[in-house]
Structure 1
């Protein structure tokens, strides 16, 4: 088996908009994603998610609940990404990503989310579900 990679992705919704970052290396097409990244030694997976949001967006969030885990194999690396629902605590939009891969930060509406080019298109429905007004039960 090849390498293993574990990380966290955070869904943060505020005023009906989703916190997203535009990411990519210098020579690739930039795509939108929720803040996410790999776990560092000695941090919990929740701490990883909160740190990544702070590094990539300048916002402090707290984990509300664990949503699900996405697992698979990409380029011979076995990956495991923990998805968290988070609440905005404080901060303002500033890119302080040590890897230099973040190019823009945006609070995205449901309508915008439909047209953005996503790093992980398979996440679109999940992300939309957190922005869509819940059906009122009559």
Structure 2
């Protein structure tokens, strides 16, 4: 069985919005993600993919989880990271030319938009909970 590994980044801004991307010909949203290249760590992949798909430089805050699933007979392993943006976006520069839009989505958006990976919704909502808790202690 073939296998594929990738990374995804969950980035929440100062307005408590999550950075999401949309592909050409799709009305569904997902967090920025992509395949790990030869010699790249999951963290490096996450940083590169977010830069390509959204134009934002980010730093990895922590590893959240690894999602393992099988899609069309391919073993898929995706590393999820919580990341923080550095500065402003320099614009989408996706070499794969699949990302049409990057946007910040509020908690109410996250609950109502169409997700490419509906199973990610729980993880996204969980990040909001952590956010609320961390803000309470500052």
Q: How big is each residue's C-alpha offset from its partner over 1:28-77, in whole Å with a ceiling of 9 and x where there is no partner? A: x3310000000001111100000000000000001111111000110010
Partner of 1:17 in structure 2?
A: 17
Q: Are 1:52 and 2:49 an aligned pair?
A: yes
State the alpha-carbon separation in 1 of the partners of residues 97 and 49 from structure 2: 13
Task: Supply the RMSD in Å over aligned alpha carbons.
Answer: 1.7
Unaligned runs of 5+ in 2: none
Q: 1:98 aligns with which of 87, 90, 95?
A: 95
| TM-score, reference length from structure 1 | 0.89
Tell me the matched-pair count. Answer: 133
Q: Are 1:7 and 2:6 an aligned pair?
A: yes
State the alpha-carbon separation in 1 of the partners of residues 64 and 127 from structure 2: 11
State the alpha-carbon separation in 1 of the partners of residues 123 and 57 from structure 2: 22
Given that residues 17 and 131 in structure 1 are in contact (C-alpha distance below 8 angstroms), is that contact kept between their aligned partners in structure 2? no
State the alpha-carbon separation in 2 of the partners of residues 112 and 30 from structure 1: 13
Shift of 1:92: 1.3
State the alpha-carbon separation in 2 of the partners of residues 68 and 58 from structure 1: 24
- Could you say what secondary structure the match of 1:106 adopts? strand
| TM-score, reference length from structure 2 | 0.89
Shift of 1:93: 5.5
State the alpha-carbon separation in 2 of the partners of residues 11 and 93 from structure 1: 18
Q: How big is each residue's C-alpha offset from its partner over 1:11-30, in whole Å with a ceiling of 9 and x where there is no partner? A: 11111110110125x4xx33
- Could you say what secondary structure the match of 1:94 adopts? coil
Q: Is the strand fraction higher in 1 or 2?
A: 1
Unaligned runs of 5+ in 1: none
- Could you say what secondary structure the match of 1:14 adopts? coil
Q: Is the helix fraction higher in 1 or 2?
A: 2
